[in-house]
A and B are shown apart, each in its own frame.
Chain A
Amino acid sequence: MALLTQPLLSVDRLSLRYGPVPAVRSVSFALAPGETLGVVGESGSGKTSLIRAALGLVPPTAGSLRFDGADITGLRGRDLKAFRRAAQMIFQDPAAALSPRMKIRDLLAEPLRIHDVPLAEAWPGVLDLLRRVGLPDGVLDKHPHQVSGGQARRVGIARALVLRPRLLVADEPTAGLDLSVQGDIVNLLLDLQRGFGLTCLVVSHNLDVVRAMADRVLVLYLGRVVEIGAADRVLRAPAHPYTRALLAAVPRFDPVNRPPRVPPLRGEVPSPRTPPSGCVFHPRCPLATNLCGAVEPVEQTLADGRRVACHTPLLTL
């Protein structure tokens, strides 16, 4: 897909190994300004490793990262700090990500201090942000454990936005939240994205949350991109059998009748230490042929712009 504007973030053939274990293998994608990319896949598919590498939190083993046109691969120290300021993250578990010893006031001031932003100058913006995320001023003098789970999540969101980043990475933003609170958080993130013109990377195992938030979706399996494309296309008419299996896996709420369930995906994600031969998904794929076990599929681009790595895609268009 030709991007009309320069991508804010572009990830080119990024690989990441932990010692002998490959966690991410040759992943490429670009994020246009203002766009939201959803990253989905099972535990062990490399979602967290991918965003850690994309945020420069761990140096990639191979490949390159460009942010706003500049190569940031392997940057260290002061140079990396400028990028980190522009790319912020909301962590999955706010209780673990927010220091229990600090008051919320100090938690919100900390990013400013780290990046040498004068507090007096920035504080009115912080207070404004607090209201934008729906928190009363009263929480400032509380500790994270003294507020509800939903409020702690909002503190994490406010903290990520204090430095007015351009890229926001949300790792499982609704995991562990009740249904009624989940919608609040998704609505808030969408509202903030519009308000601040944010570009977002949203990692979630909840495909419905991705459907509600993402323009495009990247499906990861064993550290590889198996499918990437427009969310409304990929999630409605998947081309990769793994994407289809992920979509069919979740029992959908259906109040009236119980239709026959699609047979669940067999087995589990294999160890990245010993990846299967050929297509890494072939041992679990209902459509696998001999070719799939022998030859790794080359990524192909379909007419609607999506990329899929499969010998027998469900769609060829």
Chain B
Amino acid sequence: MTRPTQDTDPLIAIRDLSVSFTTSAGPAEVLRNVTLDLGRGRIVGLVGESGSGKSTLASAITRLLPANLSRLEGAVQYEGRNLLAEPEAAVAALRGSRFAMIFQDPMGALNPVFRVGTQLVDLQRAKAPKASRRDRMARAVAMLTRVGIPDAARRIRDYPHQFSGGMRQRIMIAAALLCEPDLLIADEPTTALDPTIEGQIVALIDELRHGFQGTILLISHSLGLVSHLCDDVAVLYAGSLVERGPAAAVLGAPRHPYTRALLACEIGADVVRRATLATIHGDAPDVTRLPLGCVFAPRCSQAVESCRAAAPELRPVDGDGGHAAACLLV
């Protein structure tokens, strides 16, 4: 079900975000001038390959950036404030109350020495400091039931290792929803799971979205997952936002050569056995030694001389429908 088109007042407005890290090979420009709106109540898919900067973008929004950060510029506007300019403590207060995250590895995010119930009760403290432990426990059991943990009232006394990977991911989703966040960031939530369990989690997210008021930023390399769940899609390549817009437009009528090439790599159900599969010629550039001009030009079959001169700006391709691409040729 597609939600109505984005309103003019997004939940999060990312403006000209640039992030660099110090590495032994020199400064790595992991994100460059990224501008993106996360609309209220929408599921925004962030697509890109390894090293494209997807996770860094999520970390920049929540200001959970590693210590080798060397440059953080631009703005992340949320409720009239630029989160990048706020004191660390102010942003920390938002995490867990207004922003929640689900990671690829739920075992790494749950504390192995505490019972699941204890963790689900404690994390409600930020949201409902006055509620009794009994009330919080009741909410936790109800939420675990809702995300599909059988026999939740008993299992809530178990430790994380006593659950399977799929069940742990459900617990993480329950934990995130108990915070009633404005923004839920799901970073590759199904990558570590079996396809059948992935299907269950996708169905769960699809079902929960109807009762969830917040915005979801879904980071995934799975185009299937993104096409099923997302209202909007943003495509990152080597730290540049190359295309964004409504999911149907970006995935159905992609304009940027990289988006087109990436979608062509998806193996369809109609693939002929032993046929040659589509690939993208060459490798993604090293973010410590970026080419001049368009970062995709060295691999782009349509690149012309001017592509190598200056980095193209993101421009609307369909009037004001929100679909934009950063390519000189569109």
Contacts of B267 in A (CB 8 A): 182-183, 186, 208-209, 211-212
Contacts of B310 in A (CB 8 A): none
* Centre residue among B223, B227, B273 by max chain A CB count within 10 A: B273
For the complex formed, measure the closest distance between the CB of A192 and the CB atoms of chain B, giving whole angstroms. Answer: 12
For the complex formed, measure the closest distance between the CB of B58 and the CB atoms of chain A, giving whole angstroms. Answer: 18
A254 & B195 in contact (Cβ 8 Å cutoff): no
Q: How far is the CA of A207 from the CA of B202 in the complex (A)?
A: 18
Contacts of B228 in A (CB 8 A): 251, 254, 258, 261
Q: How far is the CA of A4 from the CA of B16 in the complex (A)?
A: 65
Contacts of B50 in A (CB 8 A): 149, 178
Contact of B199 among A214, A250, A254, A258 (CB under 8 A): A250
Interface presence of B88 (CB below 8 A): no
For the complex formed, measure the closest distance between the CB of A229 and the CB atoms of chain B, giving whole angstroms. Answer: 14
A250 & B198 in contact (Cβ 8 Å cutoff): yes
Interface residues of A in 185-231 (CB under 8 A from B): 186-187, 190, 205-209, 211-215, 231
Contacts of B1 in A (CB 8 A): 258
Q: With A179-B266, A209-B267, A256-B248 as given contacts, are A264 and B273 in contact (CB-CB < 8 Å)?
A: no
Contacts of B194 in A (CB 8 A): 42-43, 205
A214's nearest neighbour on chain B, judged by CB, is B273
Number of A-B contacts (CB under 8 A): 131
A187 & B277 in contact (Cβ 8 Å cutoff): yes
Contact of A264 among B196, B265, B268 (CB under 8 A): B196
Interface presence of A148 (CB below 8 A): yes
Q: With A251-B227, A253-B266 as given contacts, are A183 and B283 in contact (CB-CB < 8 Å)?
A: no
Q: With A212-B274, A253-B227 as given contacts, are A178 and B279 in contact (CB-CB < 8 Å)?
A: no
For the complex formed, measure the closest distance between the CB of B96 and the CB atoms of chain A, giving whole angstroms. Answer: 29
For the complex formed, measure the closest distance between the CB of B260 and the CB atoms of chain A, giving whole angstroms. Answer: 11
Q: How far is the CA of A187 from the CA of B275 in the complex (A)?
A: 8
Contacts of B223 in A (CB 8 A): 179, 253
Q: Mark A245-258, 1 if CB is under 8 A from B, else 0.
A: 11011111111101
Interface residues of B in 224-247 (CB under 8 A from A): 224-225, 227-229, 247
Q: Mark B261-277, 1 if CB is under 8 A from A, else 0.
A: 11101111101011111
Q: How far is the CA of A256 from the CA of B50 in the complex (A)?
A: 26
B273 & A251 in contact (Cβ 8 Å cutoff): no
Q: With A211-B273, A261-B206 as given contacts, are A180 and B224 in contact (CB-CB < 8 Å)?
A: no
Interface presence of B145 (CB below 8 A): no
B198 & A251 in contact (Cβ 8 Å cutoff): yes
Q: Which of under 10, 10 to 19, 20 to 34, or 35 or more describes the interface residues of B?
A: 35 or more
Contact of A187 among B2, B49, B279 (CB under 8 A): B279
A191's nearest neighbour on chain B, judged by CB, is B276
Contacts of A205 in B (CB 8 A): 194-195
Interface presence of A121 (CB below 8 A): no
Contacts of A187 in B (CB 8 A): 276-277, 279
Interface residues of B in 250-307 (CB under 8 A from A): 251-252, 261-263, 265-269, 271, 273-280, 283
A256 & B252 in contact (Cβ 8 Å cutoff): yes
Interface presence of A19 (CB below 8 A): no
Contacts of A179 in B (CB 8 A): 49, 221, 223, 262, 265-266
Q: How far is the CA of A113 from the CA of B1 in the complex (A)?
A: 60
A259's nearest neighbour on chain B, judged by CB, is B228
B166 & A212 in contact (Cβ 8 Å cutoff): no
Q: With A187-B279, A261-B203 as given contacts, are A249 and B265 in contact (CB-CB < 8 Å)?
A: no
A182 & B276 in contact (Cβ 8 Å cutoff): no
Contacts of A245 in B (CB 8 A): 196
Interface residues of B in 149-205 (CB under 8 A from A): 164, 166-167, 194-200, 202-203
Closest 4 CB pairs of A and B: A255-B251, A183-B277, A208-B267, A249-B199
User: Can you list 6 A-B pairs with a CB-CB distance of less than 8 A?
Assistant: A246-B195, A246-B196, A250-B224, A253-B224, A261-B206, A268-B164
Q: Which A residues are within 8 Å of any B CB, using their own CB?
A: 42-43, 148-150, 178-184, 186-187, 190, 205-209, 211-215, 231-232, 245-246, 248-256, 258, 261, 263-266, 268
